[in-house]
Amino acid sequence: MELLYSVGTPVYAYPGCRPEDDPKGERLVTRTTTAASVLGGHTAVVWVDGHSACINLTHVDPRPGGAL
């Protein structure tokens, strides 16, 4: 599997729901602390700095300038 983003990539993470689903939802300005992995055999997740649980990749966006 080819990695598009390395550990430490600056990201916006939405632990609850994405802003298009709830404009009042929490947005973290953070960075990844792990590579993406598959949770339970079906959900791609990543861990980010400052949050105590993994976050679904559908709820994580790279910040500008964060791509390799």
Q: No. of H helices and E strands in the chain?
A: 0, 6
Do 49 and 31 form a contact (C-beta atoms < 8 A)?
yes
- Reply yes or no on whether the pLDDT at 2 is more than 70: no
Q: What is the mean pLDDT of residues 47-66?
A: 92
pLDDT in tens, 3-19: 788 999 999 999 999 99
Q: Which residues are 55's β-sheet partners? A: 46
Distance CA 28, CA 25 (A): 10
Distance CA 56, CA 68 (A): 21
Q: Phi and psi (nearest 5°) for 54? A: -70, 160
> pTM here?
0.86
pLDDT in tens, 16-52: 999 999 999 999 999 999 999 999 999 999 999 999 9
pLDDT, residue 68, reads 46
- Which tokens belong to 57? 């990749």
